[in-house]
Structure formats: C-alpha cells, structure tokens
Amino acid sequence: MSTAHETSHADEPAPLAEAPPRDLSPLVAQLRALVGEEWAYTQEHQLRTYESDGLLQYSALPAIAVLPGSADQVQACVKACAEAGVPWVARGSGSGLSGGALPVADGVLIVTSRMKRVLEVDLANQRVCVEPGVTNVAVSSAVAPEFFYPPDPSSQIVCSIGGNVAENSGGAHCFKYGFTTNYVCGLEVVLPDGELAVLGGRELDAPGYDLLGAFVGSEGTLGIATKIWLRVLPAPETVKTLVAFFDSTHAAGEAVSAIVQSGVVPGAIEMMDRTAIEASEQMAHAGYPVGRGAALLVELDGAERECEARFDEVVAICERCGSDDVRVARDEAERELFWKTRKAAFPAMGRMSPNYFVQDGVIPRTKLPEVLEAIDALAQEYGMIVANVFHAGDGNLHPLVCFDGRNEGEAERAEELSGRILDACLEAGGSITGEHGVGVDKKRHMPKMFGEPDLDAFQRLRCSFDPAGLANPGKVMPTPRLCGEVPGEYRQHPLEAAGLAERF
C-alpha cells in the first residue's frame, strides 16, 4: 500500500499513482548510477525532506529522489522511468502552495535544485538563459541594475524558475507587468517519453503551435524544463510608493476601482484588512495604525514625469475615497518597510494563530466589496478568524483561514470554510486559483469551474505530451484519466486492467 497521507476526501477516487506494489530496485539502481551515489536518496530520513512542498498537509514518500546535475542526466532519468513505466514528479525548491510537487508514493522524484547555472546573459537582445534550479531573484540579480525580471512571487528568494514555469507564477507586480507566461520565450524540455524538445526559443513566434504557452503553467504534467529562456525589461526610471489607511476594506476597494478606472496602471496595488494589519504590525513595527479597517499599498513605477503626475492623482483618489492617512515613502528604506510589512502578513499570521490555510481565489475586481462581505459572513458562521491579504489590482484574494489544529475537527472545518470562500469567488465570476495552481489541493474544485467537455479538452493536451500518464499523475485533473489511443483501435491500459482507472 502507498504511504501517501492526504487530508481525507472520502468522495475522491484513489489517485492514479497508487499502482500495485512492484519491485523498483532495478530502476532505483539504474537512477543511482545515472546521477551518482551522492545525488540519489532512498533512505527514509533523506526522503522526508521531500515528502511535501510548501503545502504541508499533503505528504508522500517517493521510492527515490534524484538530484541530476545536467539536462542530460534529467533526460536519462526520465527515459529510465518511461522504460520502467514508473511515474515521476519534478520538484524545484519545493515552495509551491498547491501540492504540485507532492511526490507520487513509491514513484520517482526529480529535484532540479543542483541545476543553478545562469547559462547566458544577452542584454542586447534582452534575454537570459538559465537552468531550472536558478532562483527567481537570481535572474533579476544577473541582469541588474539596468534590467529586471518582472514576475516576483513572494517566495522569490527561494523559489526556482523551473517551478515558476510549472506554476505560471505571478507576484505583486503582475497587474502591470504580467505573469511568468508573458516572460518565458523558450524552453528546452524533456518530454515524459524521454525525448527532448525545444518549445519557442530565444526568438518570439516560433513556427507551429504555441506549445510554449501550453507548457507554462501546466504544473509539471507535460514534462520537465531543463533550459529556460527569459525576456527581461529595462528597470523603471523611478518608483513611488504609498500606503493609505481606510476605515473599511469596502472604502479601500472603492479606491482601487477608482484608481484603475482613471487609467492609472500601478506596478502594484496590495490590500490588507484589519486582522492582517494588526498581525503584520506586531512583526514589522512599521508604525501602522492598529485598528484601522484596511491598508492599501500602491506603487507606481515608470518614467519620472509620468509617475509624478499619476502619483498625485492616486493620492487624491485615496483621500476622496475616505482615507485620512496617506503615507508616501520618502526614501528606499521606507519603501522597503512598506513592503516588508505587506510581506510579513503570512508569517505574522503564523504567530497569531497556530495554523492557517492560505486561499488563492480570484474575482473580477469590481466584485471586491461584496465578496469580502461574503467572506466576513462565512467567518462569522464558522466562528473562525479570516485575515485578508490580496493583490487588489487583479482581484487575487489570499484569505488566511486561522485555526488550531490541536482541536479536534477544527482543521476540517477550516478547510470547509476555505472551500466555501472559493465558491463565493466562483459565484462572482472568478477562478479557484490565481497563482498557486491546482496541484493536488484544488483538483476537487475543478469541476465547479469546468464542465466535462472542458476537462476532456485539457486531457487531450496532456495526452499529446504524456500518453503514458507518467508525469506528475494525480494532479490538476479532478479524477484519474487515461489516454485513449488516437486514432486507431482500443487497447487496454495496464492500470485499467488492474481496475485502478477508468477510461474517459
């Protein structure tokens, strides 16, 4: 039996990955030889490091974790898995928040953390080529100070570009600058059958289908990227940042709408509610007024003159929408303090509450006030604290549902509440995930957003890349599916024969 432990969902069918026990020792020996003794882990105490990603409520032990040092080694490992018919999962830094890098129990885990080389910096063409294990922040460092890499997830110091590609990571500045998918122009990938393919390239508009666009954000289910070409931008001339305090999130939400309506495209607009302000202030000591209903951080960047003119406009809008306390960062140190306070929100909640779930819903921006009210009502109904921190510009909410896991049943109730927040987002016309991904955590919500024909179309893409279903199985899709042979006659899949999966 598998050693996977997942928060139980009784209605959920067994993951496809739970294949019958088999002797993996030949494959393990082969992988060990491929990457070298010291980079192959099979002892339980070694494997524990990799049993979860950033979402700790899911864990599973792979049979082996390998840390290849080159694209060739990655390819050899994937090929060995393909030949043995054993599922594998790719893992970057393991900071993902949807269980996307959760190992398949008794499968293979391919960790890219040793592949950290910046291969090429071509500033004349505004391109950088990196290996997948390079951290997000290292890309910006490699091209600084004249250039920068815009996607900036909160975990940017640790998270890897390979993981960013898999998850199509966002960040605080994506309202203006876009997401990972807007900056990846080429990928060298190892396909699940062990073949190598180049999707896109250093140049834009490669001939044929935009497989690159399909691959970015595919959560490790279509293959593993071994080389990544990124577009970088010239760093903005100037940055201006303010924090405005409001009596309510409703008023702050109206300010957000008014700012965007006026035609201003801020680099970032971030909101925190009362609970989040209180928690962050205790940790960051920025002198924020505890007890105020909402804090809105607005950052404009770009050309000096344009920024100046627009900034005054933003200040005026905040005041008009009821803020009597607008603080403009006087220097870089103060700007950093504003951001530190915003980014402290998650760890700060950890001090206030023994446990919490981070939700990642999206709503149309104009629905902000009513959805926040709905979240409030839900929190009261469940008698739990929900703190709200979010990327207000693009309607990406991160409600933090606080609970004490030591109390019987509280985790389950918190999870239920968290799920109902997603329902509220969907009712408002939104999405179940804005940047964390579906992974294993949200696959059961997929049918609320997509119908059977939609899921079928997703499966067509997956099968085009991975007909054998070996790359990160059990993620994204709500139920395990197999790939039919197309075209041609029906053949039975081994897992189907074993009664472990149905054909769709």
Partner 1 sequence: MRPASAEEAAELLRTLGEEGRPLRPRGGGTKDWGPAVEGAAVVETGRLDRILEHNVGDFTAVLEAGVPLAQAQAEFEKHGQMLAIDPALNGDATVGGVMATNDSGPLRHRYGSMRDLVVGTTVALSDGTLARSGGKVIKNVAGYDLGKLFCGSFGTLGLIVRVAVRLHPLPPGTASAVGASDDAERLGAAARGLAAHPLEADSLDLDWRDGLGRLLVRFGSAAAGDQAAATVTRMRELGLADCAVVEDDDELWMAQRVHQRGDCVLKVSGRATDLAAACRTGASVVGRPALGLYWLSLAPDPAAVAAARAALAPRACTLLDAPAELRADAWAMPDPGALAVMARVKERFDPARIFRPGTFVGGI
Q: Considering only residues 433 through 492, tell me which ones interact with partner 1, judged by CB under 8 A.
A: 433-438, 442, 446, 449-451, 453-458, 460-465, 467, 476, 486-487
Residues 156-215 that bind partner 1 (CB under 8 A): 167-168, 170, 174-175, 178-179, 181-182, 191, 195-199, 201-214
Which segments of 227-325 does DSSP mark as H helices, in order?
A: 249-261, 274-284, 304-320
Cβ of residue 265: shortest distance to partner 1, in angstroms?
A: 7
CA-wise closest residue to 135 among 162, 111, 154 = 162
Residue with tokens 């920024």: 307
Residues 238-267 that bind partner 1 (CB under 8 A): 257, 260-261, 263, 265
Number of residues forming the site for partner 1 (CB under 8 A): 95
Which segments of 262-344 does DSSP mark as H helices, in order?
A: 274-284, 304-320, 332-343
Residues 97-136 that bind partner 1 (CB under 8 A): 123-127
| Strand 396-403 relative to strand 386-391, pairing | antiparallel
Q: CA 67, CA 49: separation in Å to the nearest integer?
A: 13
- Residue closer to partner 1 (CB basis): 131 or 167: 167
Cβ of residue 48: shortest distance to partner 1, in angstroms?
A: 29
Cβ of residue 465: shortest distance to partner 1, in angstroms?
A: 6
Max CA distance (Å), the chain: 71
Instruction: Report in angstroms the alpha-carbon separations of 9 from 14, 265, 402, 445.
Output: 10, 42, 21, 12
* CB atoms closer than 10 angstroms to residue 329: 19
Cβ of residue 263: shortest distance to partner 1, in angstroms?
A: 4
- Residue closer to partner 1 (CB basis): 4 or 199: 199
8 A C-beta contact, residue 436 and residue 361: no
- Residue closer to partner 1 (CB basis): 235 or 283: 235
Non-local CB neighbours of 129 within 8 Å, separated by 6+ positions: 118, 119, 120, 122, 202, 227, 228, 229, 230
Cβ of residue 210: shortest distance to partner 1, in angstroms?
A: 5
368-397 b/e with 16+ CB inside 10 Å = b?
A: bbebbebbeebbeebebbbbbbbbbbbbbb
Q: Is the dihedral of CA 103, 75, 227, 176 positive or negative?
A: negative
- Residue closer to partner 1 (CB basis): 304 or 324: 304
Residues 139-158 that bind partner 1 (CB under 8 A): 146-147
- Residue closer to partner 1 (CB basis): 93 or 459: 459
Backbone angles phi, psi at 501, to 5 degrees: -150, 155
Q: Of 60-68, 129-137, 229-237, 317-325, which segment contacts partner 1 by CB under 8 A?
A: 229-237
Q: Which of 95, 218, 226, 341 binds partner 1 (CB under 8 A)?
A: 218
- Residue closer to partner 1 (CB basis): 182 or 248: 182
Cβ of residue 395: shortest distance to partner 1, in angstroms?
A: 6
- Residue closer to partner 1 (CB basis): 21 or 208: 208
Query: Coil, strand, or helix at residue 194?
Result: coil
Identify the H or E element spanning 461. helix 452-465
8 A C-beta contact, residue 312 and residue 381: no
- Residue closer to partner 1 (CB basis): 55 or 284: 55
Residues 5-34 that bind partner 1 (CB under 8 A): none
Cβ of residue 134: shortest distance to partner 1, in angstroms?
A: 21
Q: Which of 87, 107, 150, 217 binds partner 1 (CB under 8 A)?
A: 217
- Residue closer to partner 1 (CB basis): 131 or 435: 435
Cβ of residue 4: shortest distance to partner 1, in angstroms?
A: 23
Cβ of residue 8: shortest distance to partner 1, in angstroms?
A: 23
Residues 316-375 that bind partner 1 (CB under 8 A): 362-366
Residues 378-437 that bind partner 1 (CB under 8 A): 391, 394-396, 429-437
Following DSSP, what letter does each residue of 27-60 receive, concatenated?
HHHHHHHHH-GGGEE-SHHHHGGGS--S-TT-B-
- Residue closer to partner 1 (CB basis): 139 or 446: 446
8 A C-beta contact, residue 129 and residue 229: yes
Backbone angles phi, psi at 423, to 5 degrees: -60, -40
Q: Which of 235, 328, 352, 358 binds partner 1 (CB under 8 A)?
A: 235
- Residue closer to partner 1 (CB basis): 85 or 302: 302
* Three-class HEC string of 386-441: EEEEEECCCCEEEEEEEECCCCCCHHHHHHHHHHHHHHHHHHCCCECCCCCCCCCC
- Residue closer to partner 1 (CB basis): 39 or 504: 504
Cβ of residue 464: shortest distance to partner 1, in angstroms?
A: 4
234 interacts with partner 1 by CB under 8 A:
yes
Structure tokens at 262: 């006026």
Q: Of 2-10, 79-87, 234-242, 350-358, which segment contacts partner 1 by CB under 8 A?
A: 234-242
Q: CA 333, CA 402: separation in Å to the nearest integer?
A: 31
Structure tokens at 31: 């992988």
Cβ of residue 442: shortest distance to partner 1, in angstroms?
A: 7
